[in-house]
A and B are shown apart, each in its own frame.
Chain A
Amino acid sequence: MGGIMQVVFDALSLGSLYALGALGIALIFGVMRLVNFAHGDVIAFSVFALLWPSVDAVAIIFAGNLPWFLLIPFTLAVGAGLSVLSEVVVFRRFRRANPATMMIASFALGFVIRYFLLMLFSSRPKSISLLPGLSQPVEILGARIPLLQLITILVTIGVLIGLTAFLRRTRFGLEMRAAAENFTMARMLGVRANRVIMGAFALSGALAAAIALILGSQTGTANIMMGASVMLMAFIATVIGGMGSLAGAVIAGFALGAIATVMQVILPPDARAFRDAFVYGAVILVLIFRPQGLLAARGTKERV
C-alpha cells in the first residue's frame, strides 16, 4: 500500500510541474498561436532574480532572504514582469508573422535571456537553500513523502481552481477565452487585443515563476538550464492535450508525469535507462491516433 501511494504521489508531483508548465505555454498559444520557447528561460530567470549577480559557486542570496509571504509574490511578479516585457518589446512586432518565424524569434529571445544570466552568474550550477524546512518528510497513507511534494500538489490544484474561476467568472477571463477561440471575432466584438495578450503573458510568466520556486526548493540548485527539461515536457504536453486547450494541457501534463513515473517502476532494470525513449515513443503513438490532441480546442481544426 505504502509503495503504491509513494508512486501515486511521485506521479502527481511530477505531473504538477508539467501541468503548470503546459498551462503557461497553452495560455499564450491560445491567444496568439505562439509556441513560446522562451518559457523555460523565464523559469530560470525567476530563480536567479533571488540572487545577487556573482560568478562564485555559492550563491549570494539577495531577495531570497525575504520571508516567504514576500518572497512568493516577489518571484511571481518577476516572472510576470519579464514575460510581459518580452511581449511588449519583441512579440508585439510578430503578430502577423507566421508561426515558424514567431517560434524562432521566441527561441532567439530565450537565448538572449539565458546568456544574459550566464554573463551575470556564469554557467556553473549554484547551490541555494530556498524555503528550507519544506524537505522534511510527512507520512500520509503509509507513504513517507517530503512536505514539498505535498505542497507542490496542493499548490497546483489551488492554481488550477483559481485559474478556472478566473477564466469562467471574471470579465477578463471571458475575454481571454473568447480571444483563444477566435481572435479576430473577439476583437470585432470589443475585446482589446493588447490587454488580453498582455494578460496571458503575465499569467504565463507567473506560472513560470511558480515552477521556478518549486524547482528551486526541490533541487536546491540554481542552474541557467534548469527550465529546459520541464519546458520540453510541458511543450509536448501542450500538443498532446490539443494546442490551445487549457484543460487538455493540464490533463496531458499529469498523464506524462504519470507515464514517466510508472515506467520508472515497471520497466525491468536493464530497460530503465531507456525510460525517456519509451515516453517519447508513447507521445508519437498518441499523436498518430489523435493528431489534434486529446482534447482538440475548437477553432484549431483546419477548415476547407
Chain B
Amino acid sequence: MARPSILRRTIATPLILSALLVAFALAAWFAGSRPFNQTVIDIFLQVVFVVGLYTFVGNSGVISFGHIAFACLGGYVAAWTTIKPMMKGSAMPGLPDWLMQMEIPYWAAALAGGGFAAFWALVFGAVLMRLSGIAASIATFAMLAMVNAIYSNWSSVTAATSSVVGIPILRSIWPYMIAAILAVFIAWAFSISRYGLALRAARDEPTAAAASGVNIARVRLIAFVISGAIMGAGGALYAHSIGIVTPDTFYLGLTFTTLSMLVVGGMGSLSGAVLGVLILSSLIQGLRWLEAGVQIGTSTIALPGGVQEIALGAVMILILMFRPTGIMGNSELTGRRARTEKPGEPGTT
C-alpha cells in the first residue's frame, strides 16, 4: 500500500497556519481601528522574521544570533531604493548615481532586499557554516555586531546612527499578511524538500547523516541563504511599515524578541514559530493595554511602567519551565490527532 506523498501528509500545516493569519487580518479589518491595524502589521512582520529564523535554526539546530543582520541589510535596501531621489541626496550623499535615481515600488524593494540579504548570507554562510554548535552561534553573533558596526558608522551611505526618513509608509495590512503567508509556505516547502530533510537528519544525528552522504555544510548553507532572503524581505517591509530605519532597530532588541518567540513556540516546529509570535505578541499587547489603564466602573486601574516587561520575562520563564521544548515541542499542527511518534529529543548540537 503506497503511503501518501510527503506533500499530502504535511500540507495541512501551512494551510492551518495561513488560516490563522487570515483570521488575524480579518479581525483587524473589521475592528478598523488604526492602532490595532498597526499592531497586526507588527505581528505579521514578526511572523516573517521568526519563520525566517526557523528556516535555519529549526532545521539545523544551530542557534543563530545573526539573522537580524539580514533584516538590517534588507531594510536599508528599501531605504536606498524607495526614498524620493531628492531626499536621498541630503541624507545619504555617498550612494552611487544609479541607486540615487532609483525609485521602485515596495514589493520590488522587498524582493531586492531579500536578494541582497541572500547574497550576503551566501558570502557569510560559506565561511560560517563550517562551524557547528556554540562556536557557530557566536560567529553569527559576531556577524550581527559587524554589520551593525558598519551600518552605524558608514555615514555617507547609511546616514550612520541617525534615522533615515522618507521611506513610503504602507498602511494596508494585506501586503504584510501575504508576506507572512508566503514566508510560511517557503519555510514549509524547504523543510519537506530533500535538503530540508537532509538538514534535519544532520541536526538529530550528525554522524549518521554524514555517513549517509549528507554534506552538512552545504545543506546548512542552503538553509542559511533561504532564511537570509526571508529576513531581508521582512526587513524591507519593516522599513515600509514605520517609514524610518536606524541600525539599532535591527540589533539586539529585535534579535532577542524573535529568538524568544521561536524558543517559546518550539524551536523545531514551524507551527511553533507562528504560534510563538501570536502568543507572545498578544501577551505583550495585553500587558501594554493594562499598563495604559483599564476603565472599571469609575476608576482606572493601571499597572506601573516596567511591569509589562517584567511580566513578559516571568511568563517566558514559566512557559519554558513547564515546557522546556517550547509550546509545540517538535510537532506540527496537522489537523489530526497527535501522531504516535514519540516527542523527539531537543534538536541542538
Contact = CB atoms under 8 A, between A and B. Distances in A.
A68 interface: no
B28 to A, nearest CB: 28
Given A101-B324, A283-B142, A284-B142, A111 B313 contact: yes
Nearest to B307: A119
A107 interface: yes
A288 B138 contact: no
A10 to B, nearest CB: 20
Interface stretch (A46-54, A91-99, A151-159): A91-99
A280 B313 contact: no
Contact of B316 (A105, A228, A236, A274): A105
A111 B128 contact: no
Contacts of A119: 304-307, 310
B320 A101 contact: yes
A239 interface: yes
Interface string B332-349: 000000000000001011
Q: Which 8 A-B pairs have the closest CB atoms?
A: A119-B306, A98-B346, A112-B313, A115-B309, A273-B153, A97-B324, A277-B149, A276-B149
B150 A101 contact: no
B317 A239 contact: no
B139 interface: yes
Contacts of B207: 304
Contacts of A162: none
A35 B134 contact: yes
A287 B146 CA distance: 15
Given A116-B310, A280-B149, A284-B139, A105 B131 contact: no
B260 interface: yes
B321 interface: yes
Interface of A: 35, 90, 93-94, 96-101, 103-105, 107-109, 111-112, 114-116, 118-119, 228, 232, 235-236, 239-240, 243, 273-277, 280-281, 283-284, 287-288, 291-293, 302, 304
B56 to A, nearest CB: 13
| Interface size grouping (class) on chain B | 35 or more
Contacts of A107: 256, 259-260
B310 A112 contact: yes
Contacts of A243: 134
Given A98-B324, A104-B260, A277 B134 contact: no
B320 A274 contact: no
Contact of A280 (B145, B304, B312, B316): B145
Interface string B84-121: 00000000000000000000000000000000000000
B139 A108 contact: no
Given A104-B316, A288-B127, A291-B131, A280 B142 contact: yes
A304 B321 CA distance: 30
Contacts of B135: 239, 287, 291-293
Contacts of A105: 316-317, 320-321
Nearest to B140: A284
A108 B349 CA distance: 22
A235 B142 CA distance: 11
Contacts of B252: 228
B143 A284 contact: yes
B153 A274 contact: yes
A293 B131 CA distance: 12
Interface in B221-244: none
B120 to A, nearest CB: 14
Contacts of B133: 302
Contacts of B310: 111-112, 115-116, 119
Nearest to A103: B63
B134 A109 contact: no
B84 to A, nearest CB: 28
A100 B63 contact: yes
30 contacts: A35-B134, A90-B317, A98-B346, A99-B134, A100-B63, A100-B348, A101-B325, A104-B260, A104-B316, A107-B259, A108-B313, A111-B256, A112-B309, A112-B317, A114-B309, A235-B138, A236-B138, A239-B138, A243-B134, A274-B153, A274-B154, A276-B149, A280-B142, A280-B145, A283-B139, A284-B139, A284-B142, A284-B143, A291-B132, A291-B135
Contacts of A293: 135
Given A103-B63, A274-B150, A284-B127, A94 B321 contact: yes
Contact of A111 (B153, B309, B346): B309
Given A115-B309, A119-B310, A232 B317 contact: no
Contact of B306 (A98, A116, A239): A116
Interface string B288-329: 000000000000000011110110111011001100111000
Contacts of B307: 119
B346 A280 contact: no
B348 A99 contact: yes
Contact of A108 (B150, B267, B317, B348): B317
A96 B345 CA distance: 12
Among B138, B309, B326, max chain A CB count under 10 A is at B138
B76 to A, nearest CB: 16
A277 B146 contact: yes
B131 A118 contact: no
Given A281-B146, A288-B130, A115 B306 contact: yes
B54 interface: no
Among A118, A236, A277, A288, max chain B CB count under 10 A is at A277
Contacts of B49: none
